[in-house]
């Protein structure tokens, strides 16, 4: 469980740079650096699509496929704070978990 700070402000789940999703999945099975990871849960906020109105979570569950990260224990992120980046991302591959550390 982690508090997520996320710069992907055009994500459906983003509210004031916090994440409103109850759980996210980070991908990056062969990642050795953060830019090779991504937030699979990203959904682009399209014009006309209703914005997420819920409040950001302070304890989001993070399933993580980046097995080379030091915070990954059995596919779950153990870091208390996580930063996700990817300003103006249009697809999940343009986001990344900046907390990744190998
Ligand atoms: S990109 Fe991922 S971490 Fe950021 S708000 Fe969207 S679902 Fe949450």
pLDDT above 90 covers a percentage of the chain that reads: 90
pLDDT tens per residue across span 21-71 = 999 999 999 999 999 999 999 999 988 776 666 899 999 999 999 999 999
Token pair listed for 39: 């937030």
What is the 11 CA–ligand 1 centroid distance (Å)?
6
Give the global pTM.
Answer: 0.93
Pocket-testing residue among 7, 41, 63, 98, ligand 1, by greatest number of atoms within 8 A of Cβ? 41
Identify the three-state secondary structure at position 34. helix
Q: How far apart are CA 81 and CA 47, in angstroms?
A: 30
- Token pair listed for 80: 């208390």
pLDDT (0 to 100) of residue 53: 64
Domain ranges of the chain: 3-45+55-97
């Amino acid at each position: 469980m982690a508090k997520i700070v996320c710069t992907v402000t055009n994500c459906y789940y983003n509210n004031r740079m916090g994440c409103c999703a109850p759980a996210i999945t980070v991908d990056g099975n062969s990642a050795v650096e953060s830019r090779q990871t991504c937030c699979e849960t990203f959904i682009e906020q399209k014009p006309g699509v209703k914005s997420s109105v819920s409040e950001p979570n302070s304890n989001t569950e993070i399933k993580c496929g980046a097995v080379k990260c030091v915070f990954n224990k059995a596919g779950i992120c153990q870091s208390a704070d996580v930063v996700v980046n990817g300003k103006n991302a249009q697809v999940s591959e343009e986001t990344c978990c900046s907390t990744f550390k190998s």
